Structure 1
Amino acid sequence: MPDSRSMKNNLTAIDFFCCGGGMTEGFESTGIRVLAGIDIDPACKETYEKNHPNSKFILKDIKKLPSNHFKNKFDVEKNDDGLIMIGCSPCQHWSKINTERGKSEKSKNLLLDFTRFVRYYKPGYIVIENVPGIESKPEESGLKRFLNFLDKHGYKYKKQKIDMSKYGVPQKRVRFVLIATRNGSDPLFPENLKKCKTLKDYIKKLPQINAGEKSNDLPLHRSASISENNLKRLQKTPHNGGTRLAWKDDPDLQINAYKDKDNIFKDVYGRMKWEEPAPTITTRFNSISNGRFGHPEQDRALSLLEGALLQTFSEKYYFSGNTDSVVARQIGNAVPPIFASQIAVKIAEHYQMVK
């Protein structure tokens, strides 16, 4: 049987919509070389390059990137059985929590733009990760046309809506995932784990900080400032899972928008629980008014480092950004590296099996 390490050396990947490099991090951790990461967001450039010096960051709108770019710049061949194309396009337009669909209109058909490169190169493997909403409206999102392309060109694929908390990610992050191959048999898919990781497993050990403070030893362990009223709200919210209902009858603290609306938006201003996975880490996880992002015990929202750890980045992963909101966006938009590594392992196993 071929050596598994040599098999991985024959696999290369291109990470479209790479953001800060979550997919790249997961794939590189298994020994698969990522040739390039492509993203339109200039804020991601330094983050990606600092963490992945052996991969080329391409700051470009893929709508304007020629199909033959990778052939010309990286000698990527068409019909390469060992080539993996990863497409984790921005998903705001198809997210159920999106309230600004106008702003996300331009990005709603990025899957079709990605398909142009898949059609040109016909790689051995394709990976898609997105919000479940992409599947609920397959014609509008381009998923139907993408699946038709796969069928027409002999790709076999598995697609699932998964909760990443069942795959070693300490958050209830539900995503649509597709793995496709034209290399022989059906692709392999990561298996569920029997036990979920929890908040306590990942952030309990971090030093205590107050709202608006940062750790001297861990620069990314910094928390956003909060108003005096929000501090009072958190102080009245029970530890380890409390909600805003604890102060709904306090006229000085109750928020007009939530009066007599106890059954909607129940997570906002709430605290997380140590013994459970976190809620989905969004691009605004560092604000208590944008979800259940209150620390289980401390009177503050999650720090940037806590969000990164719950996304399964290491403590040493470097994030660049001129504001904390820019950093939070990179963290929240990322594919958790630990899940990406599981996909990479399964692709390597499949490649070894069919070669």
Structure 2
Amino acid sequence: MVKEKIKAVDFFCSGGGMSFGMLKAGIQVLAGIDFDENCKETYEANIGGAQFILADVFKLKEKELEDRLSLKKNDDDLLLIGCSPCQFWSIINTDKKKSKKSKNLLKEFRRFVEYFNPGYVVVENVPGVLRKKKESGLGGFIKWLNKNGYKVHFDVHEVSEYGVPQHRKRFTLIANRITSCEITPIPVKGEKITVRDVIGEHNGFPKVSPGHKDETPFLHTVAGLKKINLDRLAVTPKNGGTRLAYVNNEELAPKCHKGKIDGFKDVYGRMWWDRPSPTITTKFFSLSNGRFGHPEEDRAISLREGAVLQSFPKDYIFKTTSIANTARMIGNAVPPKYAEAVGKSILNNHTKWQNSKQEQGR
């Protein structure tokens, strides 16, 4: 008996974080689908052997995808992945009008799952999609999966448990119609990976100043800082310091923070060396958007530092045109190490099933 490899199609693939993790787990990625053409070069530079399909999922037809990738219906070895943009369901205060269209992406993804009836389905999103199960379409999707013979796991997972040096909570659904087993991501044993484990001079990140532009693929590029923010960082304690260091300083404290010792303390703060980083958002290059100050140097973290805190390897290639575009791609990504944990759990299930079939055939 020839054991077939699991084949995956990654919807809403962006720059390839999920696809890269699946490849590392041992799953063949056939294609990534995204409507943002700015993702194409980055995806193709890193996800070997996969096609990048530039398409709007609202307009993409099931038969069109079937023909393009030579997919089969009811394929036990097929995995469909849907990591749709999640701004609409995020608790972060973003403009919901701009992201309103994205709230229906899960329903569009479901259309392809119903058509192909694959062996496995993965959905990854913000925890908010679980709190709004009815509005997001998640509740109906789970009911459909259960009704059609899938064993469904869905929960919110903390990615630092899976080898990612970052605190980040993500909703994950893994559906399996091959066995009766509930598949859950495989945690990494041992202590959590911290900021010190992946950045700093000892990890190949030379000291740089605000505004440093790295023209090499390493992309150790840092946003510039106004003098007021340089002055704030100068008095912010190393290794986890916050705005409380100057909360009563007439010149340094922002008006909205002056004298306030409660409330949100992460903005303008430094990361801790010996903890996982805070959640890497799309604005991680900016001190005013979170605890994105370097633990020791007087600057925000660089693009590459943000990428490795998301668990991208140091040689991952980002083909983008600006700091903001690169940071958006990195911040929106599924951390590859977490994707790898999901992929390994699916592969383990599939291998056991294949071995069982082989034993029965003897």
The interval holding the TM-score normalised by the smaller chain is: over 0.9
Q: Does 1:352 align with 2:348?
A: no
- Can you give the 5+ residue segments of structure 2 that lack an aligned partner in the other structure? 355-362
Residues 205-260 of structure 1, C-alpha deviations (whole Å, 9 max, x = no match): 21111111145766411100010101101111100000001111111111112234
CA distance in 1, matches of 2:341, 2:156: 16
Amino acid at match of 2:324: S
Deviation at 1:312, TM superposition (A): 0.9
Matched, 1:312 2:311: yes
Aligned match of 1:34: 29
Cα root mean square deviation, aligned: 1.4
1:70 equivalent in structure 2: 65
Equivalent position of 1:266 in the other structure: 265
Q: Is the 8 A contact 1:169 1:197 kept in 2?
A: yes
- In 1, are the aligned partners of 2:246 and 2:252 still within 8 Å (CA)? yes
Structure 2 residue identity aligned to 1:203: I
How far apart are 1:173 and its partner, in Å?
0.5
**In structure 2, distance between residues paired with 1:103 and 1:216:** 33
Q: Is the 8 A contact 1:157 1:181 kept in 2?
A: yes
Distance 2:108 2:256 in 1: 40
Match status 1:124 vs 2:123: no
Aligned equivalent of 2:321:
322
Structure 2 equivalent of residue 183 of structure 1: 178
The letter of the residue matching 2:107 is L
SS at match of 2:52: strand
Q: Within the alignment, does 1:250 sit opposite 2:249 as a pair?
A: yes
2:141 to 133, 138, 146: 146
Q: Where has structure 1 moved over 2 Å in runs of 4 or more?
A: 190-194, 214-219, 259-262
Whole-Å Cα distance in 1 between the matches of residues 115 and 38 of structure 2? 29
1:69 deviation in Å?
2.1
Q: Deviations over 1:138-193 (max 9, x none)?
A: 11111111111111211111112111111111000101111101112223222333
Report the TM-score, using the length of structure 1 for normalisation.
0.95
CA distance in 2, matches of 1:346, 1:144: 23
Percent identical pairs in the alignment equals 49
Bigger mean CA deviation after superposition, 229-238 or 50-59? 50-59
Secondary structure of 1:332 counterpart: helix
Aligned to 2:228: 229
Within 2, Cα distance between the matches of 1:194 and 1:275?
15
Moved more, 101-110 or 272-281: 101-110
CA–CA distance in structure 1, aligned partners of residues 315 and 223 of structure 2: 21
Distance in 2 separating the partners of 1:167 and 1:52: 21
> Any idea what SS the aligned residue of 2:58 has?
helix
The residue that corresponds to 1:51 in the other structure is: 46
Does structure 1 retain, via aligned residues, the 8 Å contact 2:82–2:109?
yes
Scaled by the length of structure 2, the TM-score of the pair is 0.94
Deviation per CA, 1:84-116, whole angstroms, max 9, x where unpaired?
Answer: 001111111111113211111110121111000
- Give the superposition deviation at 1:326: 0.2
Q: Find the counterpart in structure 1 of residue 168 from structure 2.
A: 173
Query: Are the equivalent residues in 1 in contact too, given 2:31–2:52 (CA < 8 A)?
Result: yes
Indicate conservation of the 8 Å contact 1:209/1:215, yes or no.
Answer: no
Q: How many residues align?
A: 350
8 Å contact kept, 1:166–1:194: no
CA–CA separation in structure 1 for the residues paired with 2:93 and 2:351 = 41
**Do 1:87 and 1:128's aligned partners in 2 also have CA atoms closer than 8 Å?**
yes
What is the distance in 1 between the residues matched to 2:259 and 2:91? 23
- What amino acid sits opposite 2:54 in the alignment? L
Residue 150 of structure 2 aligns with which residue? 155
Partner of 1:195: 191
Give unmatched runs, 5+ long, in structure 1: none
